Amino acid sequence: MSDFRSDTVTQPTAAMKQAMMDAPLGDDVFGDDPTVIRLQETAAAMLGFEAGLFAPSGTQTNLIALMTHCQRGDEAIVGQQWHTYRWEAGGMAVLGSIQPQPLDHLPDGTIPLAAIEAAIKPDDPHFAKTRLVAMENTTGGKVLPLAYMQEVSALAKRRGLRAHIDGARLFNAAVALAEQDGSDPVSKAREICNGYDSVSLCLSKGLGAPVGSVLLGSKEFIQQARRVRKMLGGGMRQAGVLAAAGLHALEHHVRRLAEDHANARALAEGLARTCATHPKLEGKVTVHPVQTNILFIDVDESVADAFLQHLAAQGVKVTSGVYGSAKRIRWVTHLNVGQEDVARALKVVAAF
């Protein structure tokens, strides 16, 4: 079995499990769980923030951030395909009474600065008050350029807005950017966050923890965010047993993300070669460029269902959705997908 569905399917390593077993515990709602405190302080220091807040999921840390930055009837500028708008069940509107203003992306994943500026509402009682610009990096596996991220934060400050990053795969972006100039991934992650008021960092994707995300910001922001977390049911008691996994991930799994990126590139190159001459797939598969650990391929509808059934029957798990006249298939490499899984997947494709 090779599970390429998502980097959320990762299992804790033996060392991570041991760290969870050994974690000193307290009561995090009372604020005295030492492992949670250490995790929050470690994450904040790594990314250049004053404080952090541990919560069960990235969906919740994003919602906490939105509800802390915005009041009822305020507006947040988001991307059409970003998690905060499309994949979080409308939480900002349903639970936060926050109006999302979704904008279209360019092919590289960015939203034009002019479009962001044009979406900011004037101070007029007819309109929701624009309070926040929420970014996502990576987005669909694409890395938003560092200069662009800095331009967005500068635009937000100039217009008196707050700026948030959904950094579910922030360290994937940092590892990819650091590889280009030979810098340190943690320092690069701090650069990405520079100028932003908050960031949500997921621990349970490529970093390999079983559960949890950390919201980072100023001390005042996190103090207010803690109240929102309680309101949303995110306060946990002996949460150090979970926080220990996240702490281990931050200390040991950041730089190894480069292995996932290399495996995704090998998978993309192998699929492109195999499909180019395959009797059933030739001319019917488009392999999109891969930047981090997420690869998309489009398979013509005439063979897509049979192809997906073949993968499933051979124990290769992927996710897919309709994309025009094709099925778009997503492959995600992660801690529990190695070179042997990539090689096996390519053999399964060739055998279709």
Q: Is the pTM of this model over 0.85?
A: yes
- Residue-level pLDDT at 325: 86
Torsion, Cα 329 203 69 101, to 10 degrees, reads 0
Please give the share of the chain, as a percent, with pLDDT higher than 70.
Answer: 100
- Residue-level pLDDT at 207: 98
* Two tokens, residue 51: 């404080």
- Residue-level pLDDT at 292: 98
d(CA 237, CA 345): 42
| Strand, helix or coil for residue 165 | strand
User: Which positions ≥6 away from 314 have C-beta within 8 Å?
Assistant: 348, 351
- Residue-level pLDDT at 323: 87
- Residue-level pLDDT at 324: 86
* Two tokens, residue 200: 């949500």
- Residue ranges of the chain whose pLDDT lies below 50: none
- Residue-level pLDDT at 33: 98
Q: Could you report the per-residue pLDDT of 205-237, keeping only the tens digit for each?
A: 999 999 999 999 999 999 999 999 999 999 999
d(CA 207, CA 334): 9
d(CA 121, CA 8): 37
- Residue-level pLDDT at 348: 98
Domains of the chain: 2-252 (3.40.640.10), 257-350 (3.90.1150.10)
Residue 320 β-bridge partners: 329
- Residue-level pLDDT at 5: 98
Cβ atoms of 129 and 75 within 8 Å: the answer is yes
Task: Give the strand pairing for 51-55 and 2-3.
Answer: unpaired
Instruction: Residue count of the chain, please give it.
Output: 352
